[in-house]
Amino acid sequence: MIKGIHDRNVDAHPYRCLTHHSNQGRKVMPKGLLIDIAGVLYEGDQAVPGAVDTLEKIRRERIPFLLVTNTTRKTRHQLLDRLRALDFYLDEGRILSAVDATADYLRNNKLHPLLIVHPAIRGLFADLIDPIPNAVVLGDAGDNFDYDNLNRAFRLIMDGAPLIAMGDNRYFSDTDGRLSLDIGPFKAALERATGTQATVIGKPSATFFHSACKRLALPPEDVLMIGDDAQTDIAAAQAAGLQACLVKTGKYRPGDERHCPQAELAETFSDAVRGLVE
C-alpha cells in the first residue's frame, strides 16, 4: 500500500516532455512496465486488439509490471472483475489504484473526508467518515458533481480543510466512446474559488510513479510507462524520471503528442512493448 503521498500539483498542466520515436530506437530497454488500464488495455466493453495476448506474454516472460490507474468509478476488485471478464487474467496485487492510495493517505493523516466521489467507491471510505469532516476528497463523481456538493466543499475548504484529489485528468474516454469530464476541471474550479492548491494523490504525482517503481524494485529510469493521456500519464512519467510511451487508443486524439515530444509513440499497447516481448 502507498503511504504518505503528499505531492501538490501547483500547475494544472506543468509537464512538457523533454522528438517522438518508435520503440525500435530505444537506447535503454526497460526492465519493468507501468501500464494504464482504461484506454490502453480496453476501450468501452472491448479489449484493445492484441492486448490480452500481449499481457499474457509479459506475465509468462516474468517481466515486472503493474497496472496503474486513475479510474475512480470502480474499486480495485471491480476493476479486476472487469479485466477478467475481458480475459485478462491477473491477481489483484498487480493493480495500483489512486482510490486505494487516497484511502491510505487519509488514514495516515487522520483525515475524515467530505466525499465527492462515485457511489461505487464510497464503501472503501466507510471507516473514515465522521459527522464533522476535516478534508474534501474529489474522485470522478459523475452526477454527484452538482452545485450543492461543490458548494459544501467550497465552504469546508474556506474554513481550512485541505482539498485532496485522486487525480488531475481533464477527461476520459467514456463507455460510449466519447470524451467525458474527469476530476481535473472540478478540482481547478475549487482551487480558483478558494485560492488553495489541491494535494493530488494519483497520476500525475511523481510520488505515485515512484511508489509504483519501488513496488517493482526498479529505478524509474528502468521503467516504461504506457498510457493514453499525453500529460497525466506520459509527460508526468517522464518528469518523474521514467521512460514513457503514448498509445493511439483510448482518449488519445491526433496532436496529443505535442504535449510530450520526446515520448515514444505507438499505435497500441502491443506495439508499445514490441522488442521487449516476442
Domain match, 70 and 88 both:
yes
Domain boundary among 163, 182, 200: 200
Domain match, 43 and 177 both:
no
Domain match, 129 and 193 both:
yes
Distance CA 258, CA 204 (A): 17
**Confidence at residue 23, expressed as pLDDT on a 0 to 100 scale:** 52
| pLDDT in single tens digits along all 278 residues of the chain | 333 333 333 333 333 333 345 554 556 799 999 999 999 999 988 999 999 999 999 999 999 999 999 999 999 999 999 999 999 999 989 999 999 999 999 999 999 999 999 999 999 999 999 999 999 999 999 999 999 999 999 999 999 999 999 999 999 988 888 999 999 999 999 999 999 999 999 999 999 999 999 999 999 999 999 999 999 999 999 999 999 999 999 999 999 999 998 899 999 999 999 989 87
Domain match, 139 and 219 both:
no
Structurally, how many domains does the chain consist of?
Answer: 2
Distance CA 235, CA 19 (A): 13
Range of the domain at 180: 111-200
- Structural domain contains residue 117: yes
Domain boundary among 200, 228, 257: 200
- Structural domain contains residue 218: yes
Domain match, 119 and 190 both:
yes
**Confidence at residue 27, expressed as pLDDT on a 0 to 100 scale:** 63
| CA dihedral for 97, 188, 179, 20, sign (positive or negative) | negative
**Confidence at residue 17, expressed as pLDDT on a 0 to 100 scale:** 38
- Structural domain contains residue 87: yes
- Structural domain contains residue 103: no
Q: Which three cell numbers stand for residue 207?
A: 510520488
**Confidence at residue 9, expressed as pLDDT on a 0 to 100 scale:** 37
Domain match, 233 and 154 both:
no
Domain match, 125 and 139 both:
yes
Domain match, 88 and 156 both:
no
- Structural domain contains residue 12: no
- Structural domain contains residue 163: yes
CA angle 119, 120, 123 (to 5 degrees): 85
Residue with cell 470522478: 140
**Confidence at residue 44, expressed as pLDDT on a 0 to 100 scale:** 87
- Structural domain contains residue 69: yes
- Structural domain contains residue 18: no
Domain boundary among 200, 227, 253: 200
Domain match, 174 and 231 both:
no
Domain match, 88 and 217 both:
yes
Q: What is the CATH number for 216?
A: 3.40.50.1000
- Report whether 259 contacts 265 (CB < 8 A): no
Domain match, 86 and 214 both:
yes
